A and B are shown apart, each in its own frame.
Chain A
């Protein structure tokens, strides 16, 4: 324990941003549980002497990279542990336009600018969405290895230490002030399992993805996950022209019972894939159905890689425990319906790091669970509604083939497209035009009723 508790009032600044709701009443009268959750730790947290706060970020993806950058800039001694520095992850790789600005990304890491999106219904009705996009608007498609490396390098530039190693486990501290002991294998040079190392840190950010070991070591609980299966297919030049700036989404019971199948353009090939939660065992069948539905457009293609990956369906029961916080996929921040995760991972990493920097007053002070809870609070406040809306959309429109037909019909509407792209590209909800909203609601219900009526008729045929 290198820390010396200092209780002098002069050096202590409580968080002015979050005062207790009723400042006049003495805090003792509050229930204990309330205090541990809300009241900031700054009053009691000791100042660090001789060193700054040490934080390890486990995982060097978008979440870890952006967290480490903020931490390092905030005067915190930062370590990033990443097991594979050139990891090509199985990932759609789509980022919204606002991420480029918010994270100051260079434009040359974007491989493709998708401006057209095609939705294809179970009965093969194809609808172009993206006609409302302005000339400078697009969905960026990038390779994860490029983005991850870029963010990590920037973090390293800001002062973070990037370690090529595999996090194995961590020992939880006995009391509030003592450090966490991190065990990891550091890979030095060629081959082998690496050297076993340990390090002592004051706080941990778990950004190690869906199979998070950090989450396991704090008993964060599990989440349901979808499995995403993807084949990278190199298709002939003349076929590739079509996918120049276009992505396709296929919906239907054949493709996936609860998600969609996709064809996304990559740097020099396309990624064809599908996902499901409920019928994981049949993923191969869904994949061949997806390939069949896109057959004419990818004919003559060669499969160059096959990938599969779990995608979280909802947040873990615990996202913060002690001085450990989970971000990105490890926490479970992937949206339903669209399955988007990169932006939310990077955002959550940044938000968590900001909470640590603020809580430690630029690395000068010890942090407590309360500081990390602030990140959780802010996150839920800002994004919960986004996740909920997408969850509702998925439940309403991906539940059956008639619903999917109605979904595609709905997407043909320009107003829907505009709203969808505005909220996707800029991650903000613009209040719509009430008259248009009403029209949309009536049209959608009409589509749903028609499609379901047809479904009833189809059921009669089989009998």
Chain B
């Protein structure tokens, strides 16, 4: 045992900086959702045991061949039964055989897709709060792509479309005026010009991406996020290659 203890200590200190705080989220969870209560005893036990977990781990190492892991058994008894009792299944009269029964959604002979979207949103919400065990006998067959595109458009785009179209038209008109006054190229000629087409494209994309002021911030964050990894990789070349070289 003593042979391995130094590296293990290092291991542990690396990834369990605050073992005590492990317990907190689970306690919170408990207070919110009573049906998790059976999971908790095992979880806390594990959480608290994390500090010392290297020792039993190594012991188990050796026992693997002997296949009498009494420690594992104890955990199993708690863990498996606990989760079994906690699991709940999503149930709804319109949810039949792993999909929404579209017949029950019909209105005037047509499927009421709005109601399907509502129902699915509710189901996903429910699942987020009560994750469900996946099962091979009872697969989920519902696929959001069966809802036709116009149903999504009608529901999510149209309320905003007026605003976006208006904004795009105003920006377009103003840019066209600006380009005309600066260069003397008329509106009709601008249509045939590559530069002007690019401007038009930028305006449309901009209107679509930046709908609210907060969007600018989130776009900025997104950009930082995408360049972070590159920076981390290029760090190895930083000190030497400041002047001329770039890694290719």
Residue A133 CB within 8 A of the other chain: no
Task: Give chain B residues whose Cβ lies under 8 Å from the Cβ of A376.
Answer: 236
Q: Chain A interface: which of B8-16, B174-182, B188-196?
A: B8-16
Partner of A305, one of B72, B152, B242: B72
A315 and B236 contact, Cβ closer than 8 Å, known pairs A242-B136, A295-B84, A306-B53: yes
Partner of A458, one of B47, B121, B131, B225: B121
Given contacts A301-B80, A314-B232, contact A281 B25 (CB under 8 A): yes
Interface of B is mostly: helix
Contact of A84 among B3, B11, B149 (CB under 8 A): B3
Contact of A124 among B42, B53, B134, B149 (CB under 8 A): B134
Contact between chains at B131 and A315 (CB < 8 Å): no
Q: Cβ of A253 and Cβ of B128 under 8 Å apart?
A: yes
Quick one: CB contact mask for A280-317 with B, threshold 8 Å, 1 for yes? 11111100110111111101111111111110001111
| A319 contact set on B, CB distance < 8 A | 236
Kindly supply a per-residue 1/0 record for chain A positions 429-463, scoring 1 wherever the CB is within 8 Å of any chain B CB and 0 otherwise.
Answer: 00000000000000000110111011111100110
Complex contact B46–A380 (CB within 8 A)? no
B86, A292: Cβ atoms closer than 8 Å: yes
Q: Known interface pairs A289-B131, A315-B232. Does A461 touch B125 (Cβ–Cβ under 8 Å)?
A: yes
Is A199 close to B, CB under 8 A? no
The answer on a CB contact under 8 Å between B84 and A450 is no
Binds A, one of B56-64, B102-110, B163-171, B209-217: B56-64
The listed residue (B10, B80, B143) touching A211 by CB distance below 8 A is: B10
- Whether B15 and A227, one on each chain, are in contact in the complex, defined by CB atoms closer than 8 angstroms, is yes
Which residue in B18, B73, B128, B143 is a CB contact (below 8 Å) of A125?
B143
Q: In the complex, which residue of chain A has the Cβ closest to the Cβ of B60?
A: A305
Whether, in the assembled complex, A170 has its beta carbon less than 8 Å from a beta carbon of chain B, the answer is no
Docked complex Cα distance between A225 and B60 (Å): 26
CB distance from A149 to the nearest CB of B (A): 15
Bound: A377/B22 CA distance, A: 42
Q: Which residues of B contact A297 (CB under 8 A)?
A: 134-136
Cross-chain contact A254 with B128 (CB below 8 angstroms): yes
Q: Is A61 positioned at the interface, with any CB of B under 8 Å from its CB?
A: no
Given contacts A288-B79, A451-B144, contact A293 B133 (CB under 8 A): yes
Query: B96-138: which residues lie under 8 A (CB-CB) from chain A?
Result: 117-118, 120-125, 127-128, 131-136
**Chain A, 196-243, CB within 8 A of any chain B CB:** 210-211, 221, 223, 225, 227, 242
In the assembled complex, A381 has its CB within 8 A of some CB on chain B: yes
Give Cα A122–Cα B125 distance, bound, in whole angstroms: 10
Given A31-B244, A88-B61, A285-B43, are A187 and B3 also a contact pair (CB < 8 Å)?
yes
Query: How distant is the Cα of A388 from the Cα of B228 in the complex, in angstroms?
Result: 11
- Of all chain B residues, the one with the shortest Cβ separation from A376 is B236
Most chain-B CB neighbours within 10 Å: which of A126, A285, A315, A447?
A: A285
Range class of the B interface residue count: 35 or more
Given contacts A284-B46, A315-B232, contact A33 B240 (CB under 8 A): yes
In angstroms, how far is the closest chain B Cβ from the Cβ of A43?
Answer: 18
The answer on a CB contact under 8 Å between A380 and B241 is no
Residue of B nearest to A314 (CB): B232
Q: Given the complex, which residues of B lie within 8 Å of A11, measured CB to CB?
A: none
Q: Which residue of B lies closest to A402 (CB)?
A: B124
A210, A255, A292, A305: the one within 8 Å of B14 (CB): A210
Interface status of B139 (Cβ within 8 A of chain A): yes
* Best-buried of A192, A223, A289, A295 by chain B (most CB within 10 Å): A295
Number of interface residues of A (CB under 8 A): 94
B26's partner among A34, A38, A284, A456 (CB-CB below 8 A) is: A284
B150 contacts chain A at the CB level, 8 A cutoff: no
A314 cross-chain contacts in B, Cβ below 8 A: 229, 232-233
Q: Which residues of B contact A227 (CB under 8 A)?
A: 15
A380 touches B247 (CB 8 A): yes
Q: Which residues of A contact B243 (CB under 8 A)?
A: 31, 33-34
Q: Is B155 an interface residue (CB 8 A)?
A: yes
What string of 1s and 0s marks CB contacts (under 8 Å) between A180-197 and chain B?
Answer: 000000010001111000
Measured CA separation A120–B140 after assembly (Å): 10
Closest Cβ neighbor of A391 among chain B residues: B229
Q: How far is the CA of A227 from the CA of B83 in the complex (A)?
A: 23
B187 interface residue per 8 A CB criterion: no
Task: Establish whether residues B18 and A122, one from each chain, have CB atoms under 8 Å apart when the complex forms.
Answer: no
A446 touches B145 (CB 8 A): yes
Interface: A395 (CB within 8 A): yes
**In the complex the two chains form, what is the Cα distance from A221 to B233 in whole Å?**
13
Binding site for B on A (CB under 8 A): 31, 33-34, 36-38, 83-84, 88, 120, 122-126, 166, 187, 191-194, 210-211, 221, 223, 225, 227, 242, 250, 252-255, 280-285, 288-289, 291-297, 299-310, 314-320, 336, 376-377, 380-381, 384, 387-388, 391-392, 395, 401, 405, 409, 446-447, 449-451, 453-458, 461-462
Please list the 4 inter-chain residue pairs (A to B) with the smallest Cβ-Cβ separation, ordered nearest first. Answer: A457-B121, A314-B232, A317-B235, A295-B133
9 A-B pairs with C-beta separation under 8 A: A125-B142, A285-B43, A288-B42, A301-B80, A303-B75, A384-B233, A395-B226, A447-B145, A450-B147
Q: Given contacts A83-B7, A285-B26, A293-B133, could you give 7 more A-B pairs where the C-beta distance is less than 8 Å?
A: A282-B25, A284-B47, A295-B83, A302-B72, A395-B225, A447-B145, A450-B144
B residues contacting A by CB (< 8 A) are 2-4, 6-7, 10-11, 14-18, 21-22, 24-26, 29, 39, 42-43, 46-47, 50, 53, 56-57, 60-61, 64, 67, 69, 72-73, 75-76, 79-80, 83-84, 86-87, 117-118, 120-125, 127-128, 131-136, 139-140, 142-145, 147, 149, 152, 155-156, 225-226, 229-230, 232-233, 235-238, 240-245, 247-248
